[in-house]
Amino acid sequence: MRRSSPGIPGAFTPSPIDLRIARMRTFLLAATARTTRDADHLLHRLADVLPLPEGAYALTHPVADPEPRLALCLAVAEDVADAVEGRLRAAGEEPTDLPEGPAVRRAVVFPGWRALTGSLTLGELFAGTAIARAEALGGVVPPEDAVLDTRGHVRPEWRDGELLLRLMPVRGGGYVPFEIPDPHPCCGTHEGGTTEV
């Protein structure tokens, strides 16, 4: 999954959680959101209030019944799932298990997300976060030394048990995330380790 060679000294070796997100327990939350901005705010706030354990994921996926909106879910390791469920219920949430769900979800909180500010290479992105792959328009796979300008807004897809970040090329040979950040954040800044709710 990670594009590092095991024989290279210092190569990144993913943890079991990074290797297979699908092994985790996923909770569908009762709360929903109409926009990605609102969904991001709710999930960031929940991540801080609970707080979510290391290695947790907070995700969104679209639903259409009875009206178009974004459903919210949390994925946590099995050994902490009961504790997280208890915290959710104490906070007034009514989580339900989501053993099977959409193959593609949008990740808002994931291992390493707080450090994603400024620019870095894709190799550094893979080594420091749970993002396993990056793909540009047309299915092009950029090299690991390609530079990514995060714009303080990185929302990879949870696809088939791993995180995929979709990119757009920019002038000068670098890349930016495909999802454009909202120019009017709902509250403070949640990126790069500073979260105000």
Q: What is the pTM of this model?
A: 0.78
Q: Give the tens place of pLDDT for each residue, 174-184.
A: 999 999 877 65
The amino acid at residue 142 is: P
CA distance 20 to 130: 10
35 backbone φψ class: left, alpha, beta (φ>0; ψ -120 to 50) = beta
Handedness of CA 125, 129, 131, 133 (dihedral sign): positive
- Overall average pLDDT of the 2-10 stretch: 32
Strands 69-76 and 57-63 turn out to be antiparallel
Give long-range contacts, CB 8 A cutoff, 24+ apart: 80-88. 80/53, 81/24, 81/25, 81/27, 83/53, 84/27, 84/50, 84/52, 84/53, 84/56, 85/27, 87/50, 88/27, 88/29, 88/50
pLDDT category of residue 197 using cuts at 50, 70 and 90: very low
